[in-house]
Structure 1
Amino acid sequence: MARTRQSGGTPATATLDRAGIRYAVRAYDHDPAATSYGTEAAEALGVEPARVFKTLLVQGERELSVGIVPVDGQLDLKAMAAALGLKRVSMAEVATAQRVTGYVVGGISPIGQKRSLATVLDASAEQHDTILVSGGRRGLDLELAPSDLLAVTRGAVAGIARRP
């Protein structure tokens, strides 16, 4: 996989470029009527949903954190809290997630956010050579190795997803 630079990049691609991390840009035509951004990405890119991961923000007792889970799963809030060493977490409000990350919902990347937040990647990512995460806008995903995602986000791995 070659590192890809694009004009009109995003904070996510700029962060990866600065870190020297190899990634591939996977763009698709976003349908504004889509109700599930992750499922739309998997279908448009012809990738199994288990390899496409969504970025979710949770509110802990004092601060926000990032959970990254496959689009065909759900974030297990109890498991996420345990991974963070907290008693409980709840989903962050949409407006808060957008303000804190600098990205819009459906395009929130775990990479290149305005502030560095504690990040947990679901353990299922380690079953794949590469995974896809949002590149910082709707219709743009980035394909990279899970180990590189963990390195650039300073993230941890834990079983935080459950299947519906």
Structure 2
Amino acid sequence: MNKAETEFPVESGSTFFKGIFIGGLLGAAAALLFAPKPGREMRSDLSDKITLATDKTKEVAGVVTDKTKSIATTVGEKATDLASTVSAKASDILTTVSDSKQQIAATLQETGKKIGDTVSEASGDIASDVKDASADVAEEATNSSKEVADDAKDAKEEVKASYKSSY
């Protein structure tokens, strides 16, 4: 590749066809200039050649149009199929998520009920334990106060006896 080809690469096939067209025009002009035929015959031959080239161009354009329509139809069908597949998959995912959400909600509700039952049970057990402990404390306090009263009475008697014996 030369420097010009490196700096300005051909970016599409249209450049190639433009080159062919320009080359064809230059060749036709050169043929006119160097042709041994008289002008009238040359113009007639040139008109025939242009008509032939035009017909071929129209034929190629028709084939390209048909191919383009065929490709566009195929792409449209594939896009429709893809859209249907994506829609179906999205619907499946939505259904799965909805089902999972309902299962999770039911599980949470059931777990909440179990926790409530456990808390109620534990609360009843604690209330019973507190009542029993309160009764035990009251009984112990009563017994202790009787003992203190008895000890106080005994101490009073001892103080009286020791006071009387000193005087």
TM-score by length of 2: 0.16
Higher strand share: 1
TM-score by length of 1: 0.16
